[in-house]
Every structure is written in C-alpha cells, then in structure tokens.
Amino acid sequence: MGGPGDPPEGTPEGAPGGGEDEYRSVVFDESFVRAARLQEFSAQERMADHAPAVRRRPALRRGLSRQALILVMLIAVAFGTAIYMGVRHPYTTPTAQQPAEPLRMTVVPLSPQGKVPGAADAESLYTHSPAAEFGIGGEGIPLPAARRTAHFSDSQVIAALSTAKDYIVESSLYPAVLTGGQIRPARVLVDPDQLDQFDQSFEHPTADGRHEPTGWLVRFDPSRVQLADRKIRVQGSLQATEIDSSTIEVTADGVFVYALRPTASAGSAEAAQVSLFTVRRELHFRFDRDDLRMHQAQIVVSYVQAGPLSCADDSVTHLHPLLAGQTAKAGGPAGTDPYATGSATAVCGSLSTSAQPKV
C-alpha cells in the first residue's frame, strides 16, 4: 500500500518524482515570467472589467548592453585620437617644407709654378707626396660617431651622414663619372627641388656660380686624360649639425688625389708619364625629413680648388689637368664684367710647390 501522500495507484514506475517530473522541462523561472509580454488578468479583474483573459504588458525599458556601450566608447576614443593626430602630427607635411635653396658653387683653378712632376708609376708619386698617408677611396672619409640632436634621432643623423658620403663617393670617386661622362650616379642623390638646376648645369653650362658641372662633381676631359690608378687617395671629414627643428646640415671637407696619364692620342713619351692631380672639395648638405627618408640631399654650397690647371683654360664643363712635364699657359682667368648681373667672379690661385710630389 502506498503512503498517505502517495497517489492511490502509487508512484508511476520509472519516475522518481512522480508525474511532476513530466513538466519540469516547461517550468519557467521568475525572470522568464517577468519578461513575458502577455499577462493573465486575475479572476476578480475579469469579473469586474469584463476584460479579456490576458493583457499586453508594456515593453521593459532596457539600457544599452555592456558590449554596445564598450563599442560606442571605443569608436569615440578612435575618433578623438584621429583628430588629435591630425592636429599634432609629428612630421611636417610636404606642403610645409621650405623649397631647397639653389646650389652656390665656386671653382678655383690652381696654376703650377713650374713643370708638373711625373713618374713612371703612380705608387712612386703617392709615396713622395702629401697624400702618402691618405686612405683609399671611400675609406678615406670615415663616418663620425653619430649623436642624436634635440629633434633628430641617432638613426636620422646617421642617415644624413651616410647620404652625404654616398654623394661624395659617387661624384668624386666613381670612374664612370670621372672620365666616362656619366652623371646619373650623383643625380639620383639630389633633392628633387634641385634637379632643374642640376640638369640645366649639364645641358647649358655657364660660369655664373650656379650652373657649372664641375661644381656638382669632379669630371675630367676624357679626350685628354685617363686614370692611371683607380685607387684614388682621399682624406676627408664629415660633421652633422642641427640647424632647426626640421633641418640637419652636414659639412664635408675632403682632399682627393688622382693619378692621371694622357690618353693614347695625347703624344710624347714624356707626356705618357703619370702625374698627380689634387682636388679640394668643401660641400654643405642640408636634409629635411623627406630627404632623410628618400636618401637624397640638398647641396647648398660647393667650394672647389683643383690643380695643376691653367688659369686660361675653361674649367666650367670639365677639368683640364696639366700633365707631367707641362706648364701653365700664359694669361690669367677669363675677365670679369662688373656690369653683368648674375655672373660669378673669375678667380685663380697658385698651386704651392709643397703640394706637388718630390721626384
């Protein structure tokens, strides 16, 4: 027999909780009931108002979900950051950059006081000259220790120094530039704002201190001379200085000593000897942040002294070195017209005998 609380026919077999367990899957918790859109009227309400059995409950007012609130906040922060970066961008835009200054150049021929000394080989001349202890090629222009400035990092200072050195190497030591007539190795390193001046200098060379090819690079007349030794002796230095918050200036000062001999069509046995030719180049480079990024430079000053040369020869387009056994032509540099505007003063110096090899 069943207990007092059991159904007359007992608890159904296989159902520990009895028949109530059949409805456990459809029993709703309190939160579900509260969220229901329909609510049943009580019996008293139905009798009093003759209302239908159910009524529609007003929709619950819910705030934004946590995920939606976080998303809105992230969008607001991103939008504010974009506005801030637009106002306080760390780099100046191209439109804010000052245009590059035109290159100002001076080329001073140095005339020998007697015959140019020569020898059968270049090594003998180098050994008995002031260039005996110079480095060879680019090794003679070491990069100094780079230190950050107030507005430029170590890597940016190194980039400025490296670009300046690359220009010096390509414009002073590359054989295809020296005697082959090429200009592109140096041109690709020039700031775009100066390319018009660079191109005009080679298309229409003029002795005006602005458009002389020999102010941009070292180049010899290939019809008269050739390199006797590609191991050019060099001694140079580089120094970087911050001019303002957007500009670095690099000053380069170097002496380049070339061993030259005449071309096959040049003549006598004496002329076939090797002689030395010395070029002193002082270059001032400027770099803005675009130049540093593009590996280009603004060349603003070029001061060149070169000899042995004859003051009477034209040194605008090519340098015409005096070779072993030759002497300078009579006469000074081309006349200067003080009434002509935009022209440079013609200057010429005397090459000291101490600068020549002792043979």
Residue-wise over 132-171: b if at least 16 C-beta within 10 A, else e? eebbebbebbeeeebeebeebeeebbbbbbbbbbbbbbbb
One domain, residues 108 and 84 = no
CA distance linking residue 321 with residue 123, whole number of Å: 19
One domain, residues 80 and 225 = no
Host H or E run for residue 299: strand 298-307
- List the pLDDT tens digit at each of the 359 positions of the chain: 445 555 555 555 555 555 555 555 656 566 666 666 656 666 666 666 555 666 666 655 555 567 777 888 888 888 877 776 665 544 444 445 567 789 999 999 999 989 999 999 999 999 999 999 999 999 999 999 888 999 999 999 999 999 999 999 999 999 999 998 999 999 999 999 999 999 999 999 998 999 999 999 999 999 999 999 999 999 999 999 999 999 999 999 999 999 999 987 655 544 589 999 999 999 999 999 999 999 999 999 999 999 999 988 889 999 999 999 999 887 666 666 667 666 677 788 889 888 888 87
Question: Helix H segments across 217-336?
Answer: 289-294
Residue 7: inside a domain, yes or no? no
Note the pLDDT tens digit of each residue in 112-153.
989 999 999 999 999 999 999 999 999 999 999 888 999 999
Distance of CA 50 to the CA centre of its chain: 88
DSSP-derived 3-state class of residue 230: strand
State both tokens at 157.
């200072």
Q: Of 90, 114, 135, which residue is a domain's last?
A: 90
Contact, 114 vs 210, CB < 8 A?
no
Residue 289: inside a domain, yes or no? yes
Note the pLDDT tens digit of each residue in 159-194.
999 999 999 999 999 999 999 899 999 999 999 999
Q: Which residues pair with 152 in a beta bridge?
A: none
CA distance linking residue 343 with residue 53, whole number of Å: 108
One domain, residues 106 and 78 = no
One domain, residues 82 and 177 = no
CA distance linking residue 344 with residue 105, whole number of Å: 9
One domain, residues 115 and 84 = no
One domain, residues 144 and 247 = yes
CA distance linking residue 324 with residue 261, whole number of Å: 8
One domain, residues 56 and 131 = no
Listed in sequence order, the residues at least 6 apart from 327 whose beta carbon sits closer than 8 Å to its beta carbon are: 112, 114, 115, 116
One domain, residues 169 and 82 = no
